[in-house]
Amino acid sequence: MMRRGEVLPEVNVAYEAWGNLSETHDNAVLVFTGLSPSAHACSSSEDPAPGWWEYMIGPGKPIDTNRFYVVCVNSLGSCFGSTSANSINPKTGKQYCSEFPELTIEDIAKAGHHAMQELDIEHLCAVIGASMGGMSSLAYALQYPDEVDHVVTISAACRSLPLAIAMRSLQREIVRCDPDWKNGCYEPDEEPKNGMVLARKLGLVSYRAAEEWNERFNRARIDPSRRSKDKFGIEFEVESYLDYNAHKFVENFDANSYLYLSRAMDLFDVAEHGGSVNAGLAKVHAKKTLVVGVDTDILFPIQQQEEIYNGIKNAGRNVEFERIASTKGHDAFLIDEELFSPIVRKFFAEIK
């Protein structure tokens, strides 16, 4: 049963795991991803390709797989192996497309919980996530308060503010306005790529801070040999960066998954778990919570991480807050290893 009342008769959750589960099954760490990553958070002997959080997870790393059994799940609704709009509806024998149930962050957390049960893990040592993954981690702690000892939420929020909602709403509208979207029933080789490219470019702008754009690109222009004859074609390096990275993303990510996961972030509201944000946060029973924010994040401003910290603190729970000064904005947790590693390493090292 989904949070909004609809039913998924069959659910698959793709995951990757590193380390060894202890005999008492008390060393499991669950990792939730942001909107776009797969479950491949770090490399392994089975898949040596670097993961999206390579510096954070592994032997001797901040989340030390010599100590912890680390499981990263691909979010419900994503296109990297978990049940999504591209999956076959067993009732019709066809893809769900836009008939896929309305998705929420709570559903993503619930799918992660089911995955843990399938792995015979009844109690988590810790749950961690950044961005949408931070929301999912918070939702996990709200729905299963007595089944997790430690919570780490990075660059996340209790609920999205109007700017973030407006940005994602516009991204979804751009995709849906692409004629190739076809109400979500497009063929695999006929995806709405033009809409997705534009939507992703808009998203990329919100993931970084203005200061970094200025420092990195200023008004640098591309080499004349790369310019087209189009009067409105790419002229500046920042345009080239957005174009390259948007096309790269679109080649690997599904449009319907983009829509559903984006909408789930807008719908999430801790206040729905108690009548107010503070009442909801009071339901987090973890032994200790770590809240991390970045001072230049425009998507989830630092005040939103302070709100999580203050709500849990006011409930009398053990919670730490770390404010990171970085020019990298929302995406800093993927880039600024030297700033994030010591904080996460210290937190996990203190877990007994």
The catalytic site residues sit at 131, 297, 330
- Cα separation, 305 vs 31, whole angstroms: 19
Give every CB contact of residue 224 below 8 A, 6+ residues apart in sequence: none
Token pair listed for 31: 């990792």
Radius of gyration for the alpha carbons in the chain, expressed in angstroms and rounded: 20
Residue 203's closest CA among 308, 133, 132?
132
DSSP-assigned letters across all residues of 107-127: HHHHHHHHHHHHTT--SEEEE
289: β partners: 151, 319
Distances (CA, A) of 5 to 8, 101, 159, 184, 267: 10, 9, 21, 21, 14
- Cα separation, 100 vs 56, whole angstroms: 33
According to DSSP, residue 159 is labeled: B
Token pair listed for 340: 């994030």
Count of CB atoms within 10 A of residue 331's CB?
22
- Cα separation, 278 vs 42, whole angstroms: 35
For the chain, the farthest-separated pair of C-alpha atoms sits apart, in whole angstroms, at: 66
What ranges in the chain are assigned the alpha helix state H? 105-118, 132-143, 162-177, 193-207, 210-217, 237-250, 255-267, 277-281, 302-314, 332-335, 337-349
> What are the phi and psi torsion angles at 176 (to 5°)?
-70, -20
Cβ atoms of 136 and 129 closer than 8 Å? yes
